[in-house]
């Protein structure tokens, strides 16, 4: 480096070791307690030329500054340029001589010193050593002059300390003033009184209170709980008004209102269900049987049409079709349920005379002559509507021979009277998509039909608690619905009578029965007569005289428990398992006679005739002539039209000598002639004055043991009632109910 007018060949470097040594010395010089801390610091350094030799002797201008770090551009303190004498490359100067060192700058943290020679760039900064920081300690009058060991306990009061502290009025007592952040652990806190925050607030994520919370206003994003124990809550007294509902409560306590159900259109069900539900239906009732129109007789044709309560009408239409020799002379008036005097004049005249058949639809496209059918829009048209048709001119048969009747005094007919409407139903809803009921479906439960089964109720269902079945209306009568129909193989009935009770619509046919239930005889098929005398008859067997197979005890058909024949051919020799399984203790028996394959007669034997026998075959396993009944217990259900199959007219069922006739004693299940024969039994009736033992006068079905005098290889013998007949054509069937 050269003098101030000659640039240095190499930047001047400040020797850090010399500066450090100087600062150390200064620090040591501050030891005596009697001296005040100096406000200047001695700075020594060495200026060298480019080659490392000492700078030329002379006077140089040097500027010294303090910074926060080695590179920042901030200037915290600066002094100079100062004129400094350099000799042998060495120089020294007193920092703070012309501008005092700022204790606040030095106390704020580590500082770096920068040196600039003349206009040269600032030399690399060096960290400031400890000596200059002694300026900070000047406030206490000495640096390091008093140690902690030299202070007596309690010798320094709070008034002599220049810092904030937690004071106490007693040793170890509570802190009366805390001015610090994070200096006290929560575990060290214990409040012994209320905390008064003045106008300040508590801000916390959560709060748990074991006592009461008293507040002027509580604002929350949500409330958990049912609020059943809230007190002092004043609900707004206002309301939202018609058609609106409360959707919330504002901060000031007023109600927040929104559109309610009334805001929807009356038929808005489709809108809110995305089109899957609808309560709008097309309904109609009509009279379609032609009704004759009086021909100018002074009397009207009056037709009454009953409209059910469909709901409120969205459209309303009346249609009339009529035929008349001259509709231009016809007047029609319609009387609604609430007006049977004035009503509506539909048309007058009702045609132009060009056509003898007209179809009119009111109010569109045909206009009502007087009155407004549109008044029924929004109302229920339920009730009786009356159509009066008046013909004001005599007809001429030669003009309209098919319409004009002088004999009947009529001119044409009303062929259709119909009232139809599109209605908003009040009692039903249509599902236009698949209906999935996750919680189940409960039908109306009743002991009888809750409404008549008519056209308006078609499809209506309910659960009949008496019949224990779901019932559905087909528009005319009620039917039982079963998952497994009674009388099927998977759901056999106890008897035909039980089946008819479960399913009154059952027709005469072959059904599955299981009279003795599980564990007994296996279910079997049997023929059920569901028409005769109210139905419910189970065919147990048929005795037929037209084959070599007979029922005599040679085969044991009367008493054994083996089936015979085929239910598909039940009117030849046939025995159903019902013969020994169905309960006859309180049962009626139907005697049915056929001749040459044709039904001739049906006779009912009351339950008294069976004397409480448990099964039908029990009637033939014990000889008991008391198993009988008189004619009062016998009813002819179907009387024969002629004497075919019997010996004479008097032997026809219901006639004097026939079954149930006045000239007989009644019916015997066991009987015979014990004087001349070994008795084995028969079934039949005998003439008045004779008992069951008088076989010669019995018209019987033989039940004889082989070897008996009366035994023959036939089932039906030519006794009195069968003389002069072909017994091979005779069949007698027995039903039980």
What per-residue confidence (pLDDT) applies to 102?
80
In the Cβ-directed half-sphere of 586, how many Cα atoms lie within 13 Å? 1
Q: What is the band of 165 on the pLDDT scale with cuts at 50, 70, 90?
A: low
Q: What is the band of 6 on the pLDDT scale with cuts at 50, 70, 90?
A: very low
Look at residue 697 and tell me whether its pLDDT is greater than 80: no
For residue range 544-584, list pLDDT tens digits in order.
Answer: 888 777 776 555 677 789 999 999 999 999 999 999 999 99
CA distance 123 to 67: 13
pTM of the model: 0.43
What letter does residue 522 receive in the DSSP assignment? P
Stated length of the chain: 737
Averaged pLDDT, 49-56: 83
The Cα angle at residue 671 between residues 670 and 676, in degrees rounded to 5: 145
CA distance 354 to 351: 8
What per-residue confidence (pLDDT) applies to 2?
37
Closest-CA residue to 580 (of 560, 554, 551, 598): 560
Closest-CA residue to 703 (of 618, 617, 610, 620): 620
The better pLDDT of the pair 152, 552 is held by: 152
What per-residue confidence (pLDDT) applies to 497?
97
Q: How many CB atoms lie within 10 A of CB 196?
A: 6
* One-character DSSP codes across 171-234: TT---SB---SS-S-GGG---SS----TT-----S----SS----S----S---S--TT--S--
What per-residue confidence (pLDDT) applies to 627?
87
Closest-CA residue to 13 (of 127, 129, 126): 126
The Cα angle at residue 646 between residues 704 and 611, in degrees rounded to 5: 50
Say if residues 542 and 579 touch (Cβ distance below 8 Å): no
Using DSSP's 3-state secondary structure scheme, residue 641 falls into coil
Maximum CA pair distance of the chain? 185
For residue range 430-477, list pLDDT tens digits in order.
Answer: 888 887 878 888 888 999 999 999 888 899 999 988 877 889 999 999
Percentage of the chain beyond pLDDT 70 is 78
CA distance 412 to 328: 13
Look at residue 335 and tell me whether its pLDDT is greater than 50: yes
b/e per residue 56-79 (b: at least 16 CB within 10 A): beeebebbbbbbbeeeeeeebbeb
What per-residue confidence (pLDDT) applies to 678?
37
Say if residues 447 and 466 touch (Cβ distance below 8 Å): yes
């Amino acid at each position: 480096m050269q003098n101030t007018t000659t640039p240095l060949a190499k930047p001047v470097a400040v020797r850090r070791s010399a500066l450090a040594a100087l600062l150390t010395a200064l620090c040591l010089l501050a030891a005596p307690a009697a001296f005040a801390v100096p406000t200047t610091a001695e700075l020594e350094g060495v200026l060298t030329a480019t080659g490392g030799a000492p700078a030329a002797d002379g006077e140089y201008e040097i500027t010294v500054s303090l910074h926060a770090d080695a590179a920042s551009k901030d200037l915290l303190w600066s002094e100079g340029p100062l004129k400094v004498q350099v000799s042998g490359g060495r120089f020294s100067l007193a920092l703070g001589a012309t501008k005092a060192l700022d204790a606040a700058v030095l106390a704020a943290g580590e500082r770096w010193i920068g040196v600039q020679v003349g206009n040269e760039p600032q030399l690399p900064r060096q960290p400031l050593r400890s000596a200059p920081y002694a300026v900070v300690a000047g406030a206490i009058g000495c640096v390091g002059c008093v140690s902690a060991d030299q202070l007596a306990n309690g010798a320094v009061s709070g008034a002599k300390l220049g810092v904030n502290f937690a004071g106490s009025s007693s040793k170890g007592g509570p802190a009366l003033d805390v001015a610090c952040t994070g200096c006290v652990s929560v575990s060290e806190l214990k409040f012994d009184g209320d905390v008064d925050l003045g106008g300040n607030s508590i801000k916390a994520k959560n709060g748990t209170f074991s006592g009461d919370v008293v507040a002027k206003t509580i604002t929350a994003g949500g409330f958990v709980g049912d609020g059943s124990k809230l007190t002092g809550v004043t609900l707004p007294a206002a309301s939202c008004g018609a058609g609106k509902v409360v959707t919330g409560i504002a901060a000031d306590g007023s109600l927040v209102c929104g559109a309610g159900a009334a805001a929807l259109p009356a038929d808005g069900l489709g809108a809110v269900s995305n089109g899957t539900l609808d309560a709008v239906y097309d309904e109609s009732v009509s009279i379609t049987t032609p009704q004759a129109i009086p021909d100018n007789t002074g009397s009207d044709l009056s037709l009454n049409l009953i409209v059910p309560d469909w709901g409120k009408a969205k459209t309303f239409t009346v249609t009339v079709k009529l035929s008349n020799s001259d509709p231009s002379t016809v007047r029609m008036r319609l009387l609604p349920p609430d007006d049977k005097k004035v009503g509506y004049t539909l048309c007058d005249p009702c045609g132009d005379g060009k056509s003898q058949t007209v179809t009119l639809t009111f109010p569109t496209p045909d206009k009502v002559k007087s009155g407004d059918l549109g008044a029924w829009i929004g109302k229920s048209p339920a009730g009786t509507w009356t159509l009066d048709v008046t013909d004001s001119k005599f007809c001429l048969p030669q003009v309209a021979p098919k319409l004009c009747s002088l004999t009947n005094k009529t001119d044409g007919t009303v062929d259709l009277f119909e009232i139809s409407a599109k209605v908003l139903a009040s009692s039903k809803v249509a599902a236009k998509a698949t209906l999935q009921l996750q919680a189940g479906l409960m039908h109306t439960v009743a002991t009888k039909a809750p409404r008549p089964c008519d056209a308006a109720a078609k499809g209506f269902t309910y659960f009949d608690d008496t019949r224990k079945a779901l019932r559905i209306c087909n528009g005319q009568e009620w039917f039982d619905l079963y998952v497994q129909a009674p009388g099927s193989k998977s759901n056999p009935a106890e008897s035909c009578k039980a089946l008819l009770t479960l399913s009154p619509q059952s027709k005469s046919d072959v059904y599955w029965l299981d009279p003795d239930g599980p564990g007994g005889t296996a279910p079997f098929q049997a023929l059920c007569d569901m028409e005769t005398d109210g139905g419910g008859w189970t065919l147990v067997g048929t005795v037929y005289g037209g084959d070599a197979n007979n029922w005599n005890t040679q085969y044991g058909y009367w008493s054994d428990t083996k089936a015979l024949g085929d239910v598909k051919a039940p009117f030849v020799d046939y025995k159903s398992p019902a013969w020994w399984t169905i309960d006859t203790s309180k049962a009626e028996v139907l005697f049915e006679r056929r001749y040459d394959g044709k039904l001739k007669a049906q006779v009912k034997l009351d339950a008294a005739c069976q004397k409480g026998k448990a099964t039908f075959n029990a009637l033939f396993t014990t000889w008991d002539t008391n198993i009988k009944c008189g004619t009062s217990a016998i009813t002819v259900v179907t009387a024969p039209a002629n004497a075919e199959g019997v010996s004479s007219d008097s032997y026809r069922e219901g006639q004097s000598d026939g079954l149930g006739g006045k000239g007989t004693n009644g019916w015997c299940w066991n009987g015979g002639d014990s004087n001349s024969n070994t008795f084995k039994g028969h079934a039949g009736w005998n003439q008045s004055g004779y008992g069951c033992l008088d076989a010669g006068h019995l018209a019987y079905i033989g039940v004889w043991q082989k070897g008996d005098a009366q035994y023959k290889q036939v089932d039906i013998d030519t006794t009195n009632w069968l003389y002069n007949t072909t017994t091979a054509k005779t069949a007698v069937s027995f039903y039980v109910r």
